[in-house]
């Protein structure tokens, strides 16, 4: 085997892999289930900073965290927290309005509450399990779970 053609082939494979990675968007899927307001707010803060750093992001709210998406959300989701007085719901809505953040509740959240989509803030929808499963394993996606 001649060293030059082998090295050239390795270089070509590396360049193709780099090009493929460059074409794959940097995506973030934040899955939030935690009931604690501080944890919920930190998930929002990190998602917001990932968006600012260039990531395409989406948010999945399940269990107690799904309450953040309610029009009549509990005070834990709407009360401002130190140090800047932000709330989980307020920061979520800011990202939706300013960055186009896609927000969904788990598919079983609304049936579990005995409610329909009319109880959700505008722009929040129920996730389709097959689409969410595909989003979780999509190339270039980082899953952050709280």
Question: What pTM value is reported for the model?
Answer: 0.83
Work out the number of other CB atoms within 10 angstroms of the CB of residue 45: 14
Distance CA 23, CA 118 (A): 38
Report all structural domains of the chain as residue ranges with CATH numbers, in order of start.
25-145 (3.40.1260.10)
Q: Across the chain, where does the E strand assignment appear? A: 27-32, 56-61, 102-105, 125-126, 141-145
Which 3 state secondary structure label does DSSP give 73? coil
- Could you tell me the two tokens for 92? 């979520």
pLDDT tens across the length of the chain (146 residues) = 555 444 444 444 444 444 444 566 799 999 999 999 999 999 999 999 999 999 999 999 999 999 999 999 999 999 999 999 999 999 999 999 999 999 999 999 999 999 999 999 999 999 999 999 999 999 999 999 99
**Signed CA dihedral, 139, 62, 102, 44: sign only:** negative
Distance CA 101, CA 80 (A): 21
**How many separate helices (H) and strands (E) can be counted in the chain?**
6, 5
Torsion of CA 92, 97, 102, 106, to 10 degrees: 40
45 sits in which H/E element: helix 37-52
The answer to whether 27 and 56 are in contact (CB under 8 A) is yes
């Amino acid at each position: 085997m001649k060293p030059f053609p082998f090295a050239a082939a390795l270089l070509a494979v590396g360049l193709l892999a780099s090009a493929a990675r460059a074409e794959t968007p940097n995506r973030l899927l934040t899955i939030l289930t935690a009931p604690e307001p501080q944890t919920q707010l930190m998930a929002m803060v990190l998602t917001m900073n990932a968006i600012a750093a260039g990531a395409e992001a989406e948010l999945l709210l399940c269990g107690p965290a799904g309450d953040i998406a309610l029009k009549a959300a509990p005070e834990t989701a709407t009360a401002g927290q130190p140090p800047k007085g932000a709330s989980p719901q307020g920061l979520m809505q800011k990202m939706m309005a300013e960055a186009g953040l896609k927000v969904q509740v788990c598919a079983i959240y609304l049936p579990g509450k005995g409610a329909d989509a009319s109880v959700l803030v505008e722009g929040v929808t129920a996730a389709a399990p097959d689409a969410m499963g595909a989003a979780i394993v999509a190339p270039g996606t980082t899953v952050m779970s709280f």
